Amino acid sequence: MSDRAILLTCIASAIAAYGTVAIGLPAWTAALLAAAAAAEFALRSRRNVRAATERVEHELQRTLRWREEQLANTAHELRTQLTAVATALELLREGVASTEDERAQFLDQATAASRHMAFLIHDVVDLAAIEGNRIRLQMRECRIRDLLLDVKKVMELPAQTHGVTLAIDDVDDRIAVYADRGRFLQIAFNLVANALKHSGSGATVRIALACGKSQARFEVHDSGPGIDQDHRASLFTRFGSAGGDSDAPGTGLGLYVSSMLTTRMGGAIGFHPGAERGSVFWFSLPLSERQRTTTAPLPATTANDSQVRSESVACAGDGSA
């Protein structure tokens, strides 16, 4: 109970006691009424304190369960990827690969697994830094074309491993955003990795770009099973997950960490269902100062939008990323 409520209760008890005396009731009656009011106040306060304590305990238990689940998931994922690296290197050492192409294939598998481990470790470390308000950003102008080329270089091999084609729309070489380059790539890797994970072999994951007057929006289109309605509201929260495929690997930290990083860079992040099937995950970041007066407005979009707004315009270029 607030201080104001306590004060009002005490005033009401005093007025009640004064009133009983004023109308001629004995003083001891007034004292009993005041004592009853004080007892009622104490019981009400105790109930409120107990309810607040139970809410705090419930939230703490939920947080502890979540941390235990994340620890277990992360340990499982790291163990899986480490096993893949060790197996590939051991087979190379034993001379199982007889040709240069076979040796390159084993090395590619080890490289992909090691990169996956790096993503997992970054998410765990960044989660602690973000929640402890210790995250540091190095904001500067970054050309979008260069960023998407880096995304393609890193994610091409995981895409091939999943049997998925990674397609990136053409982008004007002059367009730039104001962002932390490493954090941009981390967010993009998370969204693309989720799309690959939920897309079947033979599918295509597409990265598109929409520009506005002050923001650029990066969209990752997949053709997976989509997101269950029950999961959509909590996608980017600490307890959320991408849903859709409960057997897909991952720690569940990626979307939450990506949301926190995007917000700190002055952008936004969201999701909407695909036009026919699958999902579109997107994040927007501020355009660099020199870009802000040369492009059409980017629509305001939320994480629960059901469609892409028609005002968005593609930032097309002459070449391919």
pTM: 0.64
Whole-number average pLDDT of the chain? 76
Please tell me which of 34-43, 151-160, 265-274 the model is most confident about, judged by mean pLDDT.
Answer: 265-274
The confidence score (pLDDT) of residue 147 equals 93
What are the DSSP E strand ranges found in the chain?
139-143, 165-168, 176-180, 204-211, 215-221, 268-273, 279-286, 313-314
pLDDT of residue 134 exceeding 50, the answer is: yes
pLDDT of residue 77 exceeding 80, the answer is: no
Q: Provide φ and ψ at 280, rounded to 5°.
A: -125, 110
Token output for 134: 């210790």
Task: Determine the number of helices (DSSP H) and then strands (DSSP E) in the chain.
Answer: 7, 8
Q: Residue 209 in contact with residue 313, Cβ under 8 Å?
A: no
Percent of the chain with pLDDT over 70: 72
pLDDT of residue 54 exceeding 50, the answer is: yes
Which is it for the CA torsion 71, 72, 77, 83, positive or negative?
positive
Domain boundaries, the chain: 3-58, 70-131, 141-314
- May I ask the CATH architecture of the domain 141-314? 2-Layer Sandwich (3.30)
Minimal CA–CA distance to 283: which of 180, 141, 198? Answer: 180
DSSP string across 122-149: HHHHHHHHHHTT-----EEEEEHHHHHH
pLDDT tens column, 148-190: 998 988 888 788 888 999 999 888 888 899 999 989 998 998 8
Tokens 């992040």 sit on residue: 269
Q: Residue 272 in contact with residue 308, Cβ under 8 Å?
A: yes
Instruction: Tell me which DSSP letter residue 171 carries.
Output: -
Q: pLDDT band for 308, please (50, 70, 90 cuts).
A: very low
List beta partners, residue 179. 140
Q: Provide φ and ψ at 279, rounded to 5°.
A: -140, 160
pLDDT of residue 310 exceeding 50, the answer is: no
The confidence score (pLDDT) of residue 19 equals 54
Mean of pLDDT values over 265-290: 88
Q: pLDDT band for 14, please (50, 70, 90 cuts).
A: low
The confidence score (pLDDT) of residue 294 equals 58
Tokens 């099937």 sit on residue: 277
- May I ask the CATH architecture of the domain 70-131? Orthogonal Bundle (1.10)
Q: pLDDT band for 267, please (50, 70, 90 cuts).
A: very high
